[in-house]
Structure 1
Amino acid sequence: VEFATPLSHDRERIDAYHNGEQLRYSTMQDLLGDQPVPGLVPCDLEAQLHLACDDGEPRSFTEAEKHVAWRAAMQSEMDAVQENHTWELADLPHGHRAVTLKWVFKLKRDEAGAIVKHKARLVARGFVQQEGIDYD
């Protein structure tokens, strides 16, 4: 799996793994080549091209669990999962892989930009499934 380079100060993503394999990253030089990009300032190129921004939303469970509001949002999501019988634990059949889960965090804001809700969702990472192995 190959991705564009994360920001150089983003240690969590630099040392990331997916399915036990370390992620490989392309350098900005690999992505852009030697040609200058109109409208971009070379000294700030990394920050200008990076799509992620610090919007107050945690990027991982580890980051979220440090904050009371995000822990409460995660607990609310887990309560809803149990109350709605969304899924149940079961023994995994031999030769099958479990579908992993991921927390997704979003701040809900009003018209003025003030935070009105911390929203946490637990989602299945279904992209790891393979037809004929994990389903059908």
Structure 2
Amino acid sequence: MSVDATLANPLTFVNGSARLDPVEKLMVLPERERGVCCPPTLKARPEKIEQTTEILKALADPTRLQMALSLRDAKEPVCICDFTATFDISQPTVSHHMAKLREAGLVDVTKRGIWSFYRLAPDLPAATRRILDAIG
């Protein structure tokens, strides 16, 4: 008997006699169709997801997060010059951070002459306020 025939045949020869090898049964799984197993329920509206993503991206930077927390605790709008002194960073860098916070809808700005004063947006989503409150 050739080697190929032995491999194709479920017989094993032991001491000259043939023995039938047990054949393992293989479980054949059904082919899965994409999206029919257990589809998740998407409850959040796409525009709410987009807004929340932008807020979280803006707060992901440590300096911007500290600035937002400072504005939350401030009794009145904060001048950009105060942020440059507090964070020891340049005015253009503070302006960049504030622009990111403003684009995300986190802060409002008021111009007085050449100075810009920032405050936390009054219409900030309650969930965002809870995030800031949970941090400190």
TM-score band, normalised by the shorter chain?
A: under 0.3
What is the TM-score of this pair, normalised by structure 1? Answer: 0.21
Please state which structure has a larger fraction of its residues in strand. 1
What is the TM-score of this pair, normalised by structure 2? Answer: 0.21
